Structure 1
Amino acid sequence: MNKKWFWLLMVVLGVVIFVGGPLFVQYTHWPQGTTGHGDWLSFWGSYLGVIPSGLIAYFVVKIQIDAERHNEHLKRNEDLYIQDLREIHELINEIRLTIVMMTTVFEDLKNDIGDAEYFAKTYIAISEKNKHQLRYNEYFNNALETLPKGSSSSMVNEIKDMIKSLERLEVNTEFYLNKIKKGENNKNHDTEYKEYFINDFRMLGIKYEMVARLIKKEISKYYIVNEHI
């Protein structure tokens, strides 16, 4: 039997028993020889009055419990989301340290004081301590996969762009140093990779600033800040 029809039948049966029964007793003078059962009808009237009151109380409590569960679920998801954002923020903080330590080397390269080889070797030496060099992209990708679908699209896109900038810088430094190691570099290569390094490092810095700002903005959505404090 269809579930819908089953419950409809149960409702009809309940009405017949709990409403029709008392009325039958009252107005048919059953058992035979009686003149009615006012007390019986009064009892059933009181009894039936309890049923809707009980149902109302049940549904009120159920709605409150469901609302509390929903709020707890939202709070738990928010806590996990903030935790994920903080983990990503810790990851990009390592990039910040690399940028800070590489700034002088970058300025020297840009102003023709340093050369491409010194920049590449210095970057590799610094980034190795901070889990960079291609492997580092896996940390970001894994962190992004844990973010819920409702995450800020602009933040996620900027993080992906920053990863691409980081990857370009890593690939170019590795590739350039391999050429030097194999003795395949020349003056043209030095000039070419110098431009790569300048553009890659500058873009990485821009993307880092954007991502850091967006992550802080996203986290701040879940805190109530009193501006008068």
Structure 2
Amino acid sequence: MKKYIKDNWKWLSSGFFGLFIIIPLLTQILINIDTINKGSDDGWLGFWGGYLGAIIGIAGAIFVVQIQLKEDREGREVEKVDNTFFNLLTLHNDQKNTLNDERIFEKIYSDFNKELKNQLLEEGLDFFYSEKATIVSILQEFIKGYKNYIENNEQYVSAEFLERWERRKTGATFSDSCTGTADSTLYNDLCYALEEIASIEKFLDDVENKKINYFSHAVFEGAYEKLDNYTRNYKAYLFDVPEKWNQLIAALYKYKSGHLSLLPFNRKKRGIERAINNHYSRIGAYFRIFHRIVKYINDKVADEEIKKDYLGFLRATINEKEMLVIFYNAAYTERGNGLLKEIRKTTFFGEHNELLEDSTVQHFNPNSMLWKSEDLKIMQGFGNK
């Protein structure tokens, strides 16, 4: 009744005005009108009073019946929505129980890290290409440094090692072993300088002749290791290394060591999609029924408090890894666009003040998120119509 009055107060106000003001005035006018057979005021008042009273009584009865019928319809509709929601929730839980037995959400979450690491190495390879000129220039300086070292020190090779050294310079292959003396140390150092020159020249040849294109994310780590070793070995000869080279090595290391924050959005999306696609034949139906439940709540439940209750029931059935897989599917994949559209209308992941970095996130561990700051900001934007 209260809801009906609240929804229809304008019409009810008009009816009240007509019933208690307009009708009495009209009654008085009718009494005052002269007719062929004039009656007394009391007679006319009794006639019109009874007549109008009957009309008001019938109208009131119809009004009450309409209200009752409307409330019955609304009650049945609420019951229907309630039953449909819990039937969908039961279907969702049946699917989820099977998937939990297979630990599929844990597998997908693990694949997120694996695929994103591959994307990070590919991004590192792009960065490597962008710094190709610097890499070539500095490695050529390394070669010059080694050649200068050889030129300045080969004159001190002892007679014992001179013949060996000449053969080494020509690249001849032979068995070469010696005892650890001062003479042998110099000889070994010179030989190592030759080996470094040959290794760097081979690497530069790969770069200059675009053999570097054969590099993929699988061998980017090897390319980084080579550059890092060249640097360490060069320093071991007491040579100075340009600071920009140290900075470049440090930047390349970030791609190797898993700094996922370096990934642009398109690579984040590609890594997430590949991880989910590996399992989509098993997880696809789960996403579809979850999407259907959220859409049903948005379409059928107007009352915000009831809506929050339904979302709370749904959320209570979902564990942390499952919730994160749902989020990343919605926020980072093409297939999840439909779900993203619906879930944006809700506070499924939490209210805005429950998703701050400096407060406790209630429904999952924020440290399990792949990009904590960015992902929490995305979630904070949810809940708007």
When Rg is computed on C-alpha atoms for both structures, the one with the higher figure is 2
TM-score by length of 2: 0.27
TM-score between the two structures when normalised by the length of structure 1: 0.43
